Chains A and B, each alone.
Chain A
Amino acid sequence: MSKRASLGQVHKYSLPVHPIEVPNIVPHNPISWVQFLIAYWKGVTVVQTTTADFVNGQFLVSNDEDIKTLWKNGFFGKGIFSRSEATWYDRTQKRLGLGEFKNLTIEEITAIRRDERKKFKKERAKLEAKQAELKKAGIVDPFIEERLELKNLRDKDIDVKVERTIDFRDDDQQLLVDGKLQNLETLELFAAEAFFLKFALNAINIRHNDQPISTVELFNKLSSSKVDDLFIMNYVVYHHYRSLGWCVRSGIKFGTEYLLYKRGPPFHHAEHAVIILPNYKDEQQNEQVAKDFVWLSSISRVIGGVRKNLIIVFVDIPTQEEFDSCETLEEKFKLYKINELLYRRWVANKNRD
């Protein structure tokens, strides 16, 4: 089985809620209709419930099975010692020379690539020094071959070493209990993620001081009762994109609120970066929070540099009275509207399409 196909199998579902599976209907075959109806009536929506602890503003998942479930079903959460998927235990086992050889984690692949890049830079620096010397002496650069070699080094595919070097530091002693590696890594959910799993999917139990916490209690802890509360705005946007099937993850690395992935991080790079701004009914209020062009330009250039689209999401903010008059959270959230704007730098003499 190819890697892609198996990834597709592992990440078959985009949320920890699995729909009923029904067979295809063949119009001229009544038996298939019956099969469809039976599957439909007997089918049960599967909700994969997990548990998180909410302490000091952090949502932490420590059960290994729960961590896997959240990652496999829609890429929720982030390993606290990993780039995204919680791979610290595997990486550390290998680094300390414990356990068996497994596939490389993304962090390891990146490390190899950076090593290669470093080698390239070193060679380039050597060559440049030679060139500078000759230039001083007034000789024309004779290093055509060297430059070619350098180019090859730059464009070379990365080698995956199967042999491992063990790197055991004094600091690692504390990780071992009876010679076995303790898993220090937990999965952390950001507030909108945790609240989505709870409020929208009811697929997570959240404990606060070892007691289960209800959706409304959680909402009150995460937000003020102000209509333009930051958590509410972020949540509304998160919910919007998750509902449309996007995989939404934190955008901190690029200075934005969110990144949108078509399916999830292992499949493609994120295509879109999202920043969130309020849009009040009162224009004076809008003027107060308006950002200047320098701010927008700097974000836009960073996002352009990593080849992503920049989406500015304006959240229409209802009035405080409208907000307060709603009884349920559903009603409150329904008051907010989403407006999207794709922002792109356009250079007149370059971008002709």
Chain B
Amino acid sequence: MSIPLVDQVQQNLLFQQLWTQVTPIKLSNITILQGFPKEKLISDDETNLNKEFVLPIKLKDEITPNMLDQVFKELQGVKRLVLGIVNDDGTVVYYIVHDGVYKPKKN
């Protein structure tokens, strides 16, 4: 009955955040998710609804720049990642990580 990490984030994206076509991708070390959000992730985005990539992790997991770099390398040309961070009360919080410097969005 307990749900593995990747499935937990996938279900959350599909049924709470209402993303569509959310599917896992196996990279060499980890499994991440891809899918289309309900609305633009950042309102300043120029193009409409891009495919986004989500890295599921646990709250207490440690991530290193090297690890993120590896993901960006394997995804070739992807400019940002979403961290799907799972807490022990079932909450999934999402943070965006950009590959390099990014102009802050307007508030």
Interface residues, chain A, with chain B CB atoms under 8 Å away: 53, 55-58, 60, 62, 77-82, 88, 92, 95, 118, 121, 125, 167, 169-171, 175, 184, 187-191, 193, 250, 252-253
A164 to nearest B CB, angstroms?
15
Given contacts A55-B1, A58-B2, contact A78 B15 (CB under 8 A): no
Given contacts A121-B43, A171-B21, A184-B11, contact A78 B91 (CB under 8 A): yes
**B15 and A188 contacting across the interface, CB-CB below 8 Å:** no
Instruction: State in angstroms the CA–CA spacing of A188 and B18 once bound together.
Output: 20
Interface residue B93 (Cβ < 8 Å from any Cβ of A): yes
| Chain A, residue nearest B3 (CB) | A58
**A184 and B15 contacting across the interface, CB-CB below 8 Å:** yes
Kindly list chain B residues whose C-beta atoms are within 8 Å of the C-beta of A53.
Answer: 1-2
**B1 and A60 contacting across the interface, CB-CB below 8 Å:** yes
Interface residue B16 (Cβ < 8 Å from any Cβ of A): yes
Instruction: State in angstroms the CA–CA spacing of A238 and B90 once bound together.
Output: 18
Main secondary structure of the interface of B (DSSP, over half): loop
**B88 and A57 contacting across the interface, CB-CB below 8 Å:** yes
Kindly list chain A residues whose C-beta atoms are within 8 Å of the C-beta of B14.
Answer: 171
| Chain B, residue nearest A193 (CB) | B89
Apart from A190-B88, A250-B91, list 20 A-B contacts with CB within 8 A.
A56-B2, A57-B88, A77-B89, A79-B90, A80-B8, A80-B12, A82-B16, A88-B16, A92-B15, A95-B18, A121-B43, A125-B106, A171-B22, A188-B89, A188-B90, A190-B89, A191-B88, A193-B89, A252-B59, A253-B93
53-83 of chain B: CB within 8 A of chain A = 59
**A170 and B2 contacting across the interface, CB-CB below 8 Å:** no
**A252 and B91 contacting across the interface, CB-CB below 8 Å:** yes
Can you pick out 23 interface pairs between chain A and chain B where the beta carbons lie within 8 Å of each other?
A53-B1, A56-B2, A57-B2, A57-B88, A60-B2, A78-B89, A78-B90, A78-B91, A80-B8, A80-B90, A81-B12, A95-B18, A118-B43, A121-B43, A167-B18, A169-B18, A171-B14, A188-B89, A188-B90, A190-B87, A190-B88, A250-B89, A253-B91
| Chain B, residue nearest A184 (CB) | B15
| Chain A, residue nearest B58 (CB) | A57
Instruction: State in angstroms the CA–CA spacing of A56 and B5 once bound together.
Output: 11
B61 to nearest A CB, angstroms?
13
B6 to nearest A CB, angstroms?
13
| Chain B, residue nearest A185 (CB) | B15
Kindly list chain A residues whose C-beta atoms are within 8 Å of the C-beta of B88.
Answer: 57-58, 190-191, 250
Interface size class of B (residues with CB under 8 A): 20 to 34
Instruction: State in angstroms the CA–CA spacing of A324 and B31 once bound together.
Output: 42
Interface residue B50 (Cβ < 8 Å from any Cβ of A): no
A65 to nearest B CB, angstroms?
18
Instruction: State in angstroms the CA–CA spacing of A188 and B106 once bound together.
Output: 35
Kindly list chain A residues whose C-beta atoms are within 8 Å of the C-beta of B15.
Answer: 81, 88, 92, 175, 184
Instruction: State in angstroms the CA–CA spacing of A10 and B8 once bound together.
Output: 31
**B16 and A189 contacting across the interface, CB-CB below 8 Å:** no
**B12 and A171 contacting across the interface, CB-CB below 8 Å:** no
| Chain B, residue nearest A169 (CB) | B20
Kindly list chain B residues whose C-beta atoms are within 8 Å of the C-beta of A92.
Answer: 15
Kindly list chain B residues whose C-beta atoms are within 8 Å of the C-beta of A187.
Answer: 90
Kindly list chain A residues whose C-beta atoms are within 8 Å of the C-beta of B21.
Answer: 171
| Chain A, residue nearest B87 (CB) | A252
Closest 10 CB pairs of A and B: A188-B90, A55-B2, A56-B2, A190-B89, A81-B16, A80-B90, A252-B87, A250-B89, A190-B88, A58-B2
16-42 of chain B: CB within 8 A of chain A = 16, 18, 20-22
